[in-house]
Structure 1
Amino acid sequence: MILYFTGTGNSEYVAERIGREANDEVINLFERLREKDFTEIHSERSWVIVTPTYAWRIPRILQEWMKKTKLSGSRDIYFVMTCGTNIGNAGKYLKSLCREKRLRYFGCLEVVMPENYIALFKTPTEEEALNIIRRAEKSIEKAAAKIKNGEKFPRISASAADKLSSGIINDLFYPLFVHARKFYTTDSCISCGKCREVCPLQNIRMNNGRPVWGKDCTHCMACICRCPKEAIEYGKHSRGLPRYTFPKEKILS
């Protein structure tokens, strides 16, 4: 069974592609995360977690959900992580999570996809994004083939920089950077409430037709990237940058 979390669509696409190739069920975890639903899930087939990479590890909201949710049936589990550059030493922490959950770790595979972290990095143009997605197909096919055949993913060697990124940098990243204080709306806002709908932590409420962000933010970038009017900014950094969501109409047409 394939479980996925996505902010702007990269992991959704990868999960669905693997699902088609491996002929496996695909479940979006958005509502479970949003509603803090830790109800047991059962599968006789291997578990496959498809997730974006946040500071060179899986998102903490997903990690906490996994810790609190019983995955019954199969004890084998794969992780497929979409990222803008690399996943660092994420495998070390996934192995630890699997030991805690008494799951057999079958490896972690990275799939480089278009960058969506508009809070700190540059997002791609549509043409750049399409080229990155096309290059990612080989990695997606490789992951699907290994999963379908029940083979472990190849082991990834972590460099000193990888260990630093997934370790100390990840520890500092959340308290220093993961907050919603810099989000704001411009006069282009049409009060549609889309940002509130796509927030996985219900961290956005509408006040006099404008979104107001709370303190429970995971920096998934769904609100800023999925705004139909590009009316949300993150400080000064996002100004003039293209908003990225997975271009389904271009890839699937």
Structure 2
Amino acid sequence: MKTLYFSSTGNCLYVAKCLGGECLSIPKLIKQGIYEIKDDVVGIVFPVYGLCIPPYIEEFLQQLKVECNYLFAIATYGCFAGSVCNELNNITLANGRKFDYVNSIQMAENCITFADMEKQEGDNKKQQGVIDQIMGDIVEKKRYVKRNSLFSKLITRDHKKKYEFPTGIGITEEVTVNEACTGCGTCSRLCPMGNIHIENGRPLFSKNCISCGACIQNCPKNAIHHNREKSSARYRNPHIEIGELLIS
């Protein structure tokens, strides 16, 4: 079994590790130009952005070729997932493969412009119960697509029209770096797009950002801030070390 994941604060990596098998970082696969995966069971775990599948992930799936007997997708979300499961069910991979199983898991809310990170729980019994249930479904190779309500579909459709997280400038113009920065380069090594470079001991942001927030949430000195953040508190899944999230 191979589980492909994208994770900026560790939630998706934690889920991927719980599900088992070989965990493969999607940013690393893209960096290496690997778009063909073979195994008996293959899965995708990624976060919901703005009630939608992140364009970064959707573009990856459109290029991905998977040969397997069972293909699953799990979307993690904080407050509301919209109709992401329905969106996933409509996706066909590059070799014509569709998902056999689609589900979602509510995790801690990690959007710093939406919620105060200090109030977020890293895990709870309900969350772990859902993960355990999904693990059982995958072991049994259950065919299932989580249903989304008409309201969810309408909300996601509306959000896609005015999507907040396109690849490009992203959040770079809303980010500041304060005097606590030591130029350690952790932010650069976390960025899935290679969008951050260290020059003269300071991070410089280019214009190829997907607004994942990994640089803000994981800065060892809490030196990177968003001008609309709810607090200066930061979140990373308590089961994941920062080294596990590094891309380079």
1:93 Cα offset (Å): 2.0
- Backbone CA RMSD of aligned residues: 2.3
Partner of 1:7: 8
Matched, 1:227 2:219: yes
Residues in 2 aligned to 1:158 and 1:36: alpha-carbon distance in whole angstroms? 38
Distance 1:81 1:249, change over 3 A: closer
Give me the whole-angstrom Cα distance separating, in 2, the residues matched to 1:220 and 1:234: 12
Matching residue within 29, 42, 49 for 2:38? 42
Say whether the 8 Å CA contact 2:61–2:94 is kept in structure 1. Answer: no
In 1, the alpha carbon distance for the partners of 2:95 and 2:229 equals: 39
Q: Does 1:186 align with 2:187?
A: no
Deviations 1:215-241 (Å, cap 9, x if unpaired)?
Answer: 111111100001001000111x22633
If the length of structure 2 is used for normalisation, what is the TM-score? 0.87
Secondary structure at the aligned position of 2:75 is classed as strand
Q: Aligned partners of 1:56 and 1:150: how far apart in 2?
A: 27
1:83 aligns with 77
Q: Aligned letter for 1:31?
A: K
Partner of 1:65: 60
Q: CA deviation at 1:192?
A: 0.4
In the alignment, the residues of structure 1 paired with residue 184 and residue 219 of structure 2 have an alpha-carbon distance, to the nearest angstrom, of: 9
Deviation of 1:135 after TM superposition, in Å, equals: 2.6
Q: TM-score, normalised by structure 1?
A: 0.85
Q: Distance in 2 between matches of 1:124 and 1:184?
A: 18
Unaligned runs of 5+ in 1: none
More helix per residue: 1
- The percentage of aligned residue pairs carrying the same residue is 26
- Unaligned stretches of 5+ in structure 2? 242-248
Q: Which letter maps to 1:199? A: C
1:122 and 1:241 in contact (8 A); partners too: no
Q: Which runs of 4+ in 1 moved over 6 A?
A: none
* C-alpha spacing 1:196/1:99, structure 2 compared with 1 (3 Å): closer
Question: Quick check: 1:17–1:140 contact (8 Å CA) kept in 2?
Answer: yes
SS in 1 for 2:100: strand
1:61, CA displacement in angstroms? 1.1
Q: Cα distance, 1:154 vs. partner? A: 5.1
Partner of 2:17: 16
Q: Secondary structure at the match of 2:44?
A: strand
Residue pair 1:38, 1:65 contacting (<8 A) in 2 also: no
- Whether the 8 Å contact between 1:113 and 1:136 is mirrored in structure 2 is yes
Change (3 A) 1:174 1:124: closer
Aligned length: 238
> After the TM superposition, which residues 3-152 of structure 1 pair with which residues of structure 2 at under 5 Å, given as runs?
3-19=4-20, 24-33=21-30, 35=31, 37-45=33-41, 47-74=42-69, 76-98=70-92, 101-118=95-112, 120-125=113-118, 128-130=120-122, 132-152=123-143
CA distance in 2 between counterparts of 1:62 and 1:249 reads 21
Q: 1:64 to 1:168 in 2, by over 3 A?
A: same
- 2-side partners of 1:107 and 1:171: how far apart? 27
Deviation at 1:97, TM superposition (A): 1.4
